[in-house]
Chains A and B, each alone.
Chain A
């Protein structure tokens, strides 16, 4: 069965600093990987996704993520964090069997210091 681990439950960074959120996955085949963001009291918004091809993917709001098969990782990065980036971030792996279900990590809550 597939699984996703986000080792950091909380992260605090200063505004303007760089950010890296970690994600490790377990999946038997080529993974479909996603990062979603959830602002307080809101639903989930897709930041970016990886299916194949270039292992560095660009997303919305200046985020990027790099797929590293050898490390089973899909870490999310941003070079300069803005206060509006404070939210909870979820990594997910997609199942390419019937239903195409997503398995989510536990989430990382990002706080941004002024």
Chain B
């Protein structure tokens, strides 16, 4: 099992450009999450999904959109990138059936917006 994978690993965007980050998991997990990590602020939840076709806002959703068309994939989109979106983005997934609340994290995507 690859676990949780993220594509791409690094990306540099100019202000106003758009892009999509892909998260894929092969553990058949129902729940998936997108976080951003900024120095001194830990990880903050952007959006999450509790199943295929569902999404919900987290703590910092502005400027991002998400889609969960397939259970194994969770896409994070930036329609018009801003320098404030320079960050490291982490995807995570979990199986709500286990009852242990553990989230499994991908390796991250480092995004720089100039």
Contacts and interface: CB of A to CB of B under 8 A. Distances in A.
Interface residues of B, number: 26
Interface in A41-82: 42-46, 49, 51
Contacts of B44: 104
Nearest to B108: A43
B56 interface: yes
Interface of B: 4, 31, 33, 35, 40-45, 48, 50, 56, 58-59, 90, 94, 96, 100-103, 105-108
Given A44-B43, A102-B103, A106-B41, 9 more contacts: A36-B105, A43-B90, A43-B107, A46-B102, A49-B101, A94-B101, A99-B48, A100-B101, A104-B35
A99 B31 contact: yes
Interface of A: 4, 6, 9, 32, 34, 36, 42-46, 49, 51, 90, 92, 94, 96, 98-107
A49 B100 CA distance: 9
